[in-house]
Structure 1
Amino acid sequence: MGYKVKPTDVVKYGKKALNPEKMVYILINKPKDYITTTDDPEERKTVLDLIAGACSERVYPVGRLDRNTTGLLLLTNDGELAEKLTHPSSGIKKIYQAELDKPITTEDFERLQAGLELEDGFIRPDEVGIVTPDAYVVGLEIHSGRNRIVRRMFEHLGYEVQKLDRTVFAGLNKKDLPRGKWRFLTEKEVIKLKFLL
């Protein structure tokens, strides 16, 4: 007799658990004041509020962005991909734009390029660039997933980050995705993401 698999059953093929759910990949351009958790006891706005009604599957944020940080965030129910994207060994590229409280000096810019010794170890961005002519906005590419790493690097140099925006995540960018909006990844983008790892 055939057995009808229930949604609660765990089905394995060899050692790999099979997922009966349709895989969903959603890219959000996160606004300020939304938190990157699936629920919040204090009832603050979460990123899931932004995608209400997008899909019936339960999706989770891949990694996190601080409440005050804006920009790209991926949500998915593909646990395997999420794990790979957040694991430090994957070296996933992230590009941030930081708006500072004062222009960065040439000396500090060079220190940032060379790398800094923070309380939890050495960190060096992969690339650094000055985005605006007034040197208030600095762009940096980094693949570390350490907590508040970009803000802490600038704090270490004596700057306060007024605005922080993630403009690129794992090869995905914000083109045609206004702040607060979301879209599903295309099949091509999903294949590319999996190929990255």
Structure 2
Amino acid sequence: MRRKSDDNRNKRTQKNFGGNKNRKPNFSKKFNKPKPQKADKNPNDDLMRLNKFIANAGVCSRREADELIKTGAVEVNGMMITEMGYKVKPDDEVRYDGELLTPEKKVYVLLNKPKNFITTTSDERDRKTVMDLIANATSARIFPVGRLDRQTTGVLLFTNDGDLTKKLTHPSHQVRKIYHVVLDKSLHGEDLQKIMDGIRMEEGVAKVDKISFIEGKAHNEVGVEIHIGWNRVVRRIFEKLGYKIEHLDRVSFAGLTKKNLKRGDWRILERDEINFLKMM
């Protein structure tokens, strides 16, 4: 026998589902999910590795900063730090050789280098340096990216961005450089082929990426594209085959050119140029 309480329970159930015994309950209704709460800010978010801080201050690259830290040349809040991976807070006082460091705004300057200037920040023999040419470009401490020898002209980049400097000078990134070479005599076709095949040097085999005669010019003028960064490598390649370079001009470095930039003049890089370098 059915109890009265069972009948009442069935009536309530039918009412909840629309009063229709054959109608199935609708579970597709969306319920508001609780919004995820923002996590509390991690105090470590404001910390910066000491080597990065030094690089941002324009002293050197991160790898070189590690060496400075190892030698005990860096102090944080008056304490010598030699620990790799040490992190500093925004209000920490960081000194290198006693000089207070502050992270500077990143600056990127492009120079069309003339002859008779050496690529160094100072010279004990008091010779003219490339720093003399960009003295009015910025108050930030910037440094040349790579080197051009005293007699080589053309594109030279300066920055206080240590990470970018490392990227543009490390062999693994194969940054392309294009040179206009003027020789003391015409380049023989067989020697051009030898250069394409690779010239044996002390460091190994020096291979260029491209080499060709320049259209409309005599055969003592060639264009060379190369990515290896060995010291004076372009000059040494031709000297190995008995040629003397009378003029060597770097017309492109990492896609940057000296277009509309007179010899000895400089300019600040455009934002799109900086982004291009960082995405290489």
State the TM-score, normalizing by the size of structure 2: 0.64
The letter for the 2-side match of 1:161 is I
SS at match of 1:191: helix
Matches within 5 A, 1:1-197: 12-13=47-48, 17-18=52-53, 19=56, 20-131=103-214, 132-196=216-280
The letter for the 2-side match of 1:106 is G
Max Rg structure: 2
Per-residue deviation at 1:120? 2.1
Per-residue deviation at 1:113? 1.3
* CA distance in 2 between partners of 1:28 and 1:139 (Å): 21
Per-residue deviation at 1:90? 0.8
The letter for the 2-side match of 1:17 is K
User: As a proportion of its length, which structure holds more strand?
Assistant: 1
SS at match of 2:235: helix
* CA distance in 2 between partners of 1:109 and 1:53 (Å): 42
* CA distance in 2 between partners of 1:133 and 1:187 (Å): 35
Alpha-carbon displacement from aligned partner over 1:29-63 (angstroms, at most 9, x marks no partner): 00000000000011111101001121110100000
Per-residue deviation at 1:25? 0.2
Shift in alpha-carbon separation, 1:157–1:12, aligned structure 2, 3 A: farther
Equivalent pairs, count: 186
* CA distance in 1 between partners of 2:185 and 2:47 (Å): 56
Per-residue deviation at 1:16? 6.6
* CA distance in 1 between partners of 2:48 and 2:129 (Å): 35
The letter for the 1-side match of 2:123 is D
Alpha-carbon displacement from aligned partner over 1:80-132 (angstroms, at most 9, x marks no partner): 10011110111000001111010001111111111111222101100001115
SS at match of 1:162: strand
* CA distance in 1 between partners of 2:200 and 2:51 (Å): 41
* CA distance in 1 between partners of 2:276 and 2:201 (Å): 34
| Structure with bigger RCO (C-alpha 8 Å, 6+ apart) | 1
* CA distance in 1 between partners of 2:52 and 2:157 (Å): 23
State the TM-score, normalizing by the size of structure 1: 0.91
Alpha-carbon displacement from aligned partner over 1:150-194 (angstroms, at most 9, x marks no partner): 000000111001110000000001111111100000011000000
Runs of 4+ in 1 over 2 A off after TM superposition: 11-20
SS at match of 1:128: strand
* CA distance in 2 between partners of 1:14 and 1:123 (Å): 37
SS at match of 1:74: strand
Identical positions, percent? 52
Per-residue deviation at 1:17? 2.8
User: As a proportion of its length, which structure holds more helix?
Assistant: 2
* CA distance in 2 between partners of 1:12 and 1:46 (Å): 37
* CA distance in 1 between partners of 2:176 and 2:47 (Å): 33
Per-residue deviation at 1:138? 1.1
